[in-house]
Amino acid sequence: MEIEKSDAWKRHQLAAVERMQRDLARYSHPVIRAVGLCGVAYLASWVVVIVLGAEAMAMMAVVAVSAAVLVLGAPAFALAVGVERYLRGRLEDHMS
């Protein structure tokens, strides 16, 4: 005997997953943006240090701070990206 879910139940599940994604996005999107911004600052400051050489010692502080944020934010970034990919996959499964 094969039991199928009703259309109303599928719509309810889809709405619940969409709501969950919106709620979690309030926390995951700022993490993704912050780590991405620090990555860009890290690379840009290294370019300045390489081009200017020893005269760019002030940029070494930017390199150090952005590297620290990248190292400390990497686990949160991985978690945020993982949650986003999981929820997006669930939504795509429900849509098809």
For the chain, the average pLDDT equals 84
The string of DSSP letters for 7-60 reads HHHHHHHHHHHHHHHHHHHHHHHHHHHHHHHHHHHHHHHHHHHHHHGGGGHHHH
pLDDT, greater one: 55 or 20 = 20
Q: What is residue 1's predicted lDDT score, i.e. its pLDDT?
A: 62
pTM for the model? 0.70
Give mean pLDDT, residues 42-48.
83
Confidence band for 65, pLDDT divided at 50, 70 and 90 = confident
